[in-house]
Structure 1
Amino acid sequence: MDHPTGHHHGCCQGGHNGEHSSRRGFLKLATLGAGVTLMAPLTMSRPALAGSVDTLLLSCMDYRLMGHVADYMNARNMQANYDHVILAGASLGALTDKKPAWGEAFWDHVAVAKDLHHIKRVIVMDHRDCGAYKVFLGMDLSPDPAKEAEVHGQYLTRLKAMVKERHPDLEVELLLMGLDGQVEKVAA
């Protein structure tokens, strides 16, 4: 039967009940969601405790390789278990006279990582087609992969020698990454 307002009486009651029950259901879900969010830090895997990281990684800032760098470190079972210093040019960035503060920052990071996290190794990862080599050295090495590997090898080897001189207890690993994420070890 029609209500004087033109609505069915049963429809109005059902509509209000539906609104209340759906609002109540939403509140229950929202509360449950908040609880899950609050519990997430307790249930998700956490990074290693300070003091247990054994590696400091120096890599370039090139946005094209960030995912590849993380994938490489993850494949070595080091996910969220290394200190990461990023300088344009990686080894070149730590060595260039054009940005002496960068080298100072790198050495400061190595010292802090040793003191705070007791690192045992430094990994230096340069990459091919590096814009820092163009900017700081005026060299586009990418057309000649052999020459590119040779020049990167010179900077990587120089930085390794300096790390070993300042911190003889640290291992140093030298790597050269391609734009496809493939990594070559560089002998020094």
Structure 2
Amino acid sequence: MFDCTSVPPHPVHHRDCGCAPPGRRALLGLAAAALGATALPRGAGAASGTYDAMLLNCIDPRFTTHGLFFMASQGMRDKYSQFVVAGGPIGAVHPRFAAWHAAFWENLAVSVQLHSITRVVALTHRDCGAAKIALGDAAVATRQAETLSHGEALRAFRAEAARRQPALAVTAGIMDLDGSVQPVA
């Protein structure tokens, strides 16, 4: 199979490159799948089931795949729900983003109720624009300052989670640009 990502952009697509519009057979297959999905019983799937955790992380697309890999490395592939907001845990507790707080904490309460989660995985990341907005330039000017300020924010998140959902454990960390995570106690 030809992979169009391995060559420079090209003006002509072929059926196997993956970037051309779907053909008639693909569209018919999608239509059949959609019709089949309507035959499933209502209420099956997402509302049922027990999950291990909720992942709270940032909207930065540089970390989307890293977050998936991290959760899989923790044995939680397909065993967690996710809440994504600018700054992740910083966005859930910092006064600069107060308007977002209720949405996160209510969502967490629903995840506890529906999915019996027992843990929140709270990840901030290096080079975060929302952290810079909330914490200020000096708080993220150096790696050491960034580590300290993110650690403070993650401890504030942990304290707020303990106040609102005392039965939940909180795993906190700072994700680096390469996807590695520095745990924060």
Give the Cα–Cα distance (whole angstroms) in 2 for the partners of residues 176 and 79 of structure 1: 20
Q: Which amino acid aligns with 1:51?
A: G
Give the Cα–Cα distance (whole angstroms) in 2 for the partners of residues 69 and 95 of structure 1: 20
1:95 aligned to 2:86?
no
What is the TM-score normalised by the length of structure 2?
0.73
**Equivalent residue in structure 2 for 1:113, among 105, 111, 114:** 111
Equivalent position SS for 1:129: coil
Instruction: Give the length in aligned residue pairs.
Output: 155
Q: Comparing both structures, which one devotes a greater share of its residues to helix?
A: 1
1:154 aligned to 2:152?
yes
Equivalent position SS for 2:62: helix
Give the Cα–Cα distance (whole angstroms) in 1 for the partners of residues 134 and 145 of structure 2: 17
- Give how far 1:171 is off: 0.6
1:63 aligned to 2:61?
yes
- Give how far 1:77 is off: 2.6
Equivalent position SS for 1:98: helix
Give the Cα–Cα distance (whole angstroms) in 1 for the partners of residues 173 and 48 of structure 2: 26
- Give how far 1:48 is off: 8.0
Q: Show the 5 A alignment for 1:1-188.
A: 34=29, 38=33, 50-139=48-137, 141-187=139-185
Give the Cα–Cα distance (whole angstroms) in 2 for the partners of residues 94 and 113 of structure 1: 16
- Give how far 1:101 is off: 2.3
Q: In structure 2, do the counterparts of structure 1 residues 113 and 49 end up closer, same or farther at CA, with 3 Å as the change threshold?
A: closer
Give the Cα–Cα distance (whole angstroms) in 1 for the partners of residues 68 and 106 of structure 2: 23
Q: Is the 8 A contact 1:55 1:82 kept in 2?
A: yes
Equivalent position SS for 1:119: coil
In terms of mean alpha carbon deviation, does 175-184 or 137-146 score higher? 137-146
Q: Is the 8 A contact 2:56 2:122 kept in 1?
A: yes
Task: List alignment gaps of at least 5 residues for structure 1.
Answer: 1-29, 42-46
What is the TM-score normalised by the length of structure 1?
0.72
Q: Which amino acid aligns with 1:96?
A: H
Task: List alignment gaps of at least 5 residues for structure 2.
Answer: 1-24, 38-44
Counterpart in 2 of 1:26? none
Equivalent position SS for 2:96: coil
Which structure would you say has the larger Rg?
A: 1
Q: RMSD over aligned Cα, in angstroms?
A: 2.9
Give the Cα–Cα distance (whole angstroms) in 1 for the partners of residues 139 and 183 of structure 2: 18
Please give the per-residue CA displacement for 1:74-132, whole angstroms capped at 9, x wherever unaligned: 22232222110111111210112222221111101110001110110011001111111
Q: Which amino acid aligns with 2:136?
A: G
Equivalent position SS for 1:68: helix
Q: Is the 8 A contact 1:133 1:140 kept in 2?
A: no
Q: Which amino acid aligns with 1:132?
A: A
Q: Which amino acid aligns with 1:64?
A: R
